Amino acid sequence: MSYSELEETELIERAKTDKEAFGELYTRYVDRIYSYVYYRTGDVAEAEDLTAKIFFRAMNHIPRYTDRGLPFSAWLYRIARNLVANWHRDRSRRRIIALDDITHWKVGQESPEIETQLLQDRDALLKVVRRLPAERQELLILKFVDRLSNSEIGDIMERSEGAIKSLYHRTLLALREEYEKESQQEKEARLTLLDRFKKLTNRGSDGES
C-alpha cells in the first residue's frame, strides 16, 4: 500500500520516523497552508519562505505530536499562525490580507451581504477589511478562503466554537457598518469633485462669452 492510500492517523504515526510518510502529509496540506500564509502576508515570496519553514518545523516536531482529538490540520495551522505572527512582529507590520485576491473569496450563502458588497464596490470593501483587527481578518480568511467551519476555526484559533460564532457575527456587523460609511464618504467625495468640475466648466464658459 502506498502512502497516499493510508489513513491519516496511520500516516502520522509513520511520519514520526519516516520522512517519506511526512512527505505525503506535506503533499496533502501544503496548498492549504500556503494559501493561508499568503492571505496573511500578501507577499508570494514571503509566503513561500514561511510555508517551507512551517513544514520544516512540523517535521522536526512531529515525533512529539500527540493526537488530542483535534484534526492534524489544526496543528499545522497553529504552527503557521505562530510563524506568521513572528513575521509581522519582526517587521512591525500591520497584519493584513492579500487584498488583490479578495474577489476569489467563496462567500455565497454563507454571507450574502458580503457577496453583494463585493459585486457593488470591491474597493470600498477592501478598505474596510484592511481596517479590521488582525484577528478578524484571519477569521475571514479561514471562513471565506479556506472554507472552514466554526468548529475547525476554533481549533486553529484556540477558541470555542461559540466564541468563533460570536466573533464572526460581530465581524459581519462591523463590516456592514463600516462599508456603509465608506460608501457614503466615497459618494460625497465624487459629488464634491463633480461640483468642482461644474464650477470650473461654468467659469470657462463665462470667459468665452
Please say if the pLDDT value at position 85 is more than 60.
Answer: yes
Distances (CA, A) of 94 to 84, 85, 137: 12, 10, 11
Determine the average pLDDT of the residues in 94-118.
61
- The C-alpha atoms of residue 174 and residue 57 are separated, in whole angstroms, by 36
Residue 95 is classified by DSSP as: P
Three cell numbers written together for 33: 497552508
**CB contact at 8 A, 139 and 168:** yes
Determine the average pLDDT of the residues in 158-183.
87
91 vs 131: which has the higher pLDDT: 131
**CB contact at 8 A, 40 and 129:** no
Per-residue model confidence (pLDDT) at position 198: 58
Helix extents (H) in 145-208:
150-157, 161-208
Q: What is the reported pTM?
A: 0.71
116 vs 208: which has the higher pLDDT: 116
Determine the average pLDDT of the residues in 74-88.
92
Per-residue model confidence (pLDDT) at position 78: 95
Per-residue model confidence (pLDDT) at position 20: 93
pLDDT one-digit tens code per residue, 2-24: 888 889 999 999 999 999 999 99
Q: Which amino acid is at 44?
A: V
**CB contact at 8 A, 135 and 167:** yes
CA 83 from centroid of its chain's CA atoms: 15
Determine the average pLDDT of the residues in 177-199.
65
**What domains can you pick out in the chain, each with its CATH number?**
1-93 (1.10.1740.10), 103-209 (1.10.10.10)
